[in-house]
């Protein structure tokens, strides 16, 4: 999750940028500077670009990358050769986030949304072409949704994934969609790029995404993106339930509640509500 990663990067790089610090280990300083470069490059970064940013030769940067990759601190795209921050930083960052009570901040919003709607509430992030479920508050109704914390689902077939994809900067969603084989999970799953592009356009326009029994038959879901302080979609929050309860007629009302929760959580992360329109236009 980007905020967790940002916290880890900040802890390391803030000291790296403090020239007066009496404690310096060159290789560690360089590794932290490299992570800082990747943190600023949303679409990843190539070896040559990193060398230019760090003003180091290729062999030095390559050795640093090999060590960081072995420890899952960076991840290399085998197709493009570009590097990005690894999920190990998310694991470490999640612990830092816990220390800053961020998880505690998010959960009350989820609890309020669950009480308001009566349905299951999920929080997820985008990991490559899938959504990864981070938190969940179950519905108290007898019929409930089976997906749990740690589960993964294709981004293109879920409201959580579509809400994030629709909010990504131009080009990022396309790269993700081209990297995955679009397969039908249910009879209503969108499996053509043209149809998904149109769905993402509609999602951007109305501010929320719908999973109309596209990921699991009999389950309907409404989701909205959660943005960080820079307006980047770092997660999504959703309300999900059996289609017999979450009817098409109830979607607009549920969407208002979901968007309000997403906006509130985004505010907790430093995003200003008045910047939403500007961020949407840019995307």
pLDDT number for residue 223 = 97
d(CA 158, CA 221): 8
Which pLDDT does position 43 carry in this prediction? Answer: 75
Sole residue written with tokens 């990747």: 38
- Please report whether residue 159 resides in a domain: yes
One domain, residues 85 and 117: no
- Contact (CB, 8 A) for 87 and 128: no
pLDDT at site 8: 40
Looking at the structure, tell me whether residues 71 and 10 fall in a common domain.
Answer: yes
Statement to judge: residues 157 and 203 lie in one domain: yes
CATH code of the domain covering residue 243:
3.30.450.40
Which SS3 state, helix, strand or coil, does residue 202 take? Answer: helix
Tell me, yes or no, whether 112 and 192 share the same domain.
yes
Q: Do 148 and 63 fall within a single domain?
A: no
How many angstroms separate the first and last alpha carbons of the chain?
20
Burial annotation 208-233 (CB, 10 A radius, 16+ → b, else e): bbbbbbbbbeebbbbbbbbbbbebbb
122 and 210 belong to one structural domain: yes
Residue 154 belongs to a domain: yes
The 10 Å Cβ neighbour count of residue 60 is: 14
Say if pTM beats, i.e. exceeds, 0.95.
Answer: no
Is 257 in a helix, a strand, or coil?
A: helix
Mean pLDDT by 10 residues, the chain (283 residues): 42 42 70 86 84 89 91 88 86 59 75 92 90 86 67 92 93 91 94 95 96 93 91 92 92 96 90 60 44
Same domain for 176 and 86, yes or no, is: no
Return the pLDDT at 225.
96
**82 part of a folded domain:** yes
Using the 3D structure, point to which of 39, 58, 90 is the last residue of a domain: 90
271 found inside a domain: yes
Structural domains in the chain (count):
2
What is the DSSP secondary structure assignment for residue 168, as one 8-state letter? S
Report the percentage of the chain scoring pLDDT > 70.
Answer: 81
Q: Where are the alpha helices (DSSP H) in 100-241?
A: 102-117, 159-167, 172-178, 193-206
The boundaries of the domain holding residue 11 are 2-90
The pLDDT of residue 272 is 78
* 110 and 72 fall within a common domain: no
101: left (phi over 0), alpha (psi -120 to 50) or beta: left
């Amino acid at each position: 999750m980007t905020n967790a990663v940002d916290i880890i990067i900040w802890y390391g790089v803030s000291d790296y940028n403090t020239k007066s610090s009496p404690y310096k280990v060159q290789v560690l300083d360089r590794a932290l500077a490299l992570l800082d470069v990747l943190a600023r490059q949303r679409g990843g970064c190539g070896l040559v670009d990193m060398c230019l940013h760090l003003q180091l030769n290729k062999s030095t940067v390559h050795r640093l990358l090999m060590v960081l990759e072995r420890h899952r601190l960076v991840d290399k795209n085998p197709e493009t050769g570009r590097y990005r921050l690894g999920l190990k930083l998310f694991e470490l960052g999640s612990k830092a986030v816990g220390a800053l009570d961020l998880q505690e901040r998010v959960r009350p919003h989820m609890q309020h949304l669950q009480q308001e709607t009566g349905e299951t509430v999920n929080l997820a992030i985008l990991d490559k072409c899938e959504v990864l479920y981070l938190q969940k508050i179950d519905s108290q109704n007898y019929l409930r949704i089976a997906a749990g914390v740690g589960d993964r689902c294709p981004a293109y077939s879920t409201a959580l994934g579509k809400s994030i994809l629709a909010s990504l900067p131009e080009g990022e969603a396309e790269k993700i969609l081209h990297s995955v084989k679009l397969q039908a999970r249910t009879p209503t799953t969108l499996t053509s790029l043209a149809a998904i592009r149109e769905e993402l356009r509609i999602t951007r326009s109305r501010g929320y995404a719908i999973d109309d029994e596209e990921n699991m038959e009999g389950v309907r879901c409404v989701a909205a993106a959660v943005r960080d302080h820079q307006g980047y979609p770092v997660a999504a929050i959703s309300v999900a339930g059996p289609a017999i309860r979450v009817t098409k007629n109830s979607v607009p009302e549920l969407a208002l509640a979901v968007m309000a929760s997403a906006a509130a959580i985004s505010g907790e992360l430093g995003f200003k509500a008045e910047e939403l329109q500007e961020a949407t236009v840019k995307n």
